[in-house]
Amino acid sequence: MTLSSSPSQTGLIGRSASALRPITRSFSRRRRKDVIAAYLFLAPGFALFALVILYPITRAFQISLYHWAIAPGTPSEFIGFGNYSKALHDPIFWRGLVNSGFYMAVTVPAQIVIGLAIAVLLDAHMPARTLFRTLFYLPVVTSWVVVSLLFRYLFITDGGLFNWFLHDATHVTGHNIDWLGQRWTAMVAISILGVWKGVGWSMIIFLAALQGVPRELKEAAAVDGAKAWARFRAVSLPAIRPVVAFVTILLVMGGFNVFISVYLMTQGGPQNETQVLLTWMYLQAFSFLDFGYGSAISFMLTLIVFALSIVQLRLFRRPSEAV
C-alpha cells in the first residue's frame, strides 16, 4: 500500500506533466509497460472528456474575456477581465455567493449525517431491506423540475402542507410562515428540498462503502465487547473515511451549483433576494444575452469550488496517502 515509499517513485509522482523526463534505463521494462498500459486505459475516456468538457471550458473562458456578441460573424469586443471586475462590484453577485454558500452549508452536513445514519441502519440483514432502500432512493430518482414545482406548492403560505403541519396541526408556529416571500425562509425551504432529494444519493454511496468493510473486522470488534457506537467509530468510520471525503467534496460542488430548484421555486426573487450564483448567471446569459458576464460568473464559481475542494482534500488526506 506504500507506493510512495521508494524515492525514485516519489520523485516521479512529484513531477508535473510538463517536466516529463524520458524513461531511463533505471526503470525495468515492466515499469515502462505499466506506464503504457496506464495511458492505454486512460486514452479513450480521457480523449472523450477532453473534447466534450475541457475544450468547451477553454472556449467559455475565452468568451468571458469579451463583450461577447452571440450572432456568428458579429465582432466581439475584448475587455480582458472586465467581466470579472464587474462581478466583484455587483452586489447581487455577492448576494448570490452568500445564498449559494448558505445552501451548501445547510444541505451538505445534513445529507452526510442523515445519509450515513440511514446507511448504517440499513447495513444489516433485515426484512424489507430492498423496500426501504428503494423508498429512500425515490426522491433522488424523481426529476428536479417536478419536485421543485411540487415543493413550491407544498410551501405555499396559506394552506401549504408545511404550514398546515406547523401551524394548524401541531401549533408549533403562531402564524403561517411566508416561506417563499423572504430571503432566509425561502433559502431554508429550498435547502429542505435539497436535503430531501439528496439524502438517498449519499445513502447508497455510504451503503456500498459500509458493505465493503470486511465483515471480519466488524465481527472482531464485536468479539472484543465494544458497544455499537464505539465499534462504528473504531472500525467502520475510518474504513469509509475516503468515501466520506469525496461525498463531502461532491456535495459541496453540487451545493454551490444549485440552480433548478431555486429557479423554479422562487425564480431568484422576490427582487433578486434569493438569487444564487447560477440563477443570476442564467439570467445574465440567456435573458440579457450577456454571455461574457455569465461565463465570468461561472468561472468565479468554479474558482471558489476549486479552492474549497483543495481545502477539503487537504483536510481529509491521510498521511500515507498520495493523491
Partner 1 sequence: MVVGDKRRARTLLGARLALLTVGAIVLIIPFAYMVATSFKQNTLVLQLPPQFIPHRPTTANYREAWNSNQFGHYFLNSLIVATATTILAVLLSSMMAFAFARFQFPGRRLLFGLLLIGLMVPTMMLLIPQFLLARDIGALNSLWGLVFFYTAMNLALNTFLLRSFFQDIPRELEEAMVVDGAGPWARYRKLIMPLSRPALATVAIFTFLASWDEFVWALTVINDPSRRTLPIAIALFQGEHQTSWGLVFAASLIAIAPVIAIFVTFQRQFVSGIASGALKG
Partner 2 sequence: MRLSRMLVLLVLTAIVAVTAATAGARVSGAKKTTTITFWNAYSSDGPEVKRLDKVIIPQFEKTHPGIVVKDVPVPYDSLHQKLVTGVAGGQLPDLVRSDIIWVPELANLGVLEPLDKSLPDFKALSSTVFPGPLATNFWKGHYYGLPLDTNTRTWNYSTTALASAGLSGPPKTFAELKADAATAKAKGLYLYAESGLSCWNVCPWIWSAGGSITNSTYTKASGFLNGPKSVAGIQMLVDLYKAGLMPNIILGGTGGLGTYDGITQGKYVSTLDGPWMFAILGGSVKLAGTTIPAGAGGSVSVVGGEDIVMTKSSKNKAAAAEFTRFMLHPWAQNQMARAGQMTVLKSLTKQLVKIHPYYSIYLKQIANARPRTPTPKWPQIDQVFQTELPKAFKGDETVQQALDSAAKQIDALL
Of 9 and 182, which has the nearer Cβ to partner 2? Answer: 182
Of 64 and 266, which has the nearer Cβ to partner 2? Answer: 266
Write down the least CB distance from residue 297 to partner 2, Å.
Answer: 16
Write down the least CB distance from residue 82 to partner 2, Å.
Answer: 17
Q: Which does 244 bind (CB under 5 to 8 A by kind): partner 2, partner 1, none?
A: none
Query: What is the Cα–Cα distance from 74 to 243, expressed in whole angstroms?
Result: 49
Of 254 and 268, which has the nearer Cβ to partner 2? Answer: 268
Taking only Cα atoms into account, the Rg of the chain, rounded to an integer number of angstroms, comes to: 25
Q: Which does 179 bind (CB under 5 to 8 A by kind): partner 1, partner 2, none?
A: partner 2
To which H or E segment does residue 67 belong?
Answer: strand 66-67
Write down the least CB distance from residue 154 to partner 2, Å.
Answer: 10
Distance, CA of 295 to chain centre: 20
Query: What is the Cα–Cα distance from 235 to 55, expressed in whole angstroms?
Result: 43
Of 92 and 278, which has the nearer Cβ to partner 1? Answer: 278
Write down the least CB distance from residue 134 to partner 1, Å.
Answer: 6
Q: Which does 196 bind (CB under 5 to 8 A by kind): partner 2, partner 1, none?
A: partner 1
Query: What is the Cα–Cα distance from 98 to 162, expressed in whole angstroms?
Result: 25
Write down the least CB distance from residue 69 to partner 2, Å.
Answer: 8
The single residue listed with the C-alpha cell 510538463 is 18
Of 63 and 305, which has the nearer Cβ to partner 2? Answer: 63
Residues at the interface with partner 2 (CB under 8 A): 70-72, 74, 152, 155-160, 178-182, 186, 265-267, 269-272, 283, 286-289, 291
User: DSSP 3-state assignment of 66?
Assistant: strand
DSSP summary character for residue 235: I
Among 91, 273, 259, 263, smallest CA distance to 183 is for 273
Helices and strands, counts by H and E, the chain:
16, 2
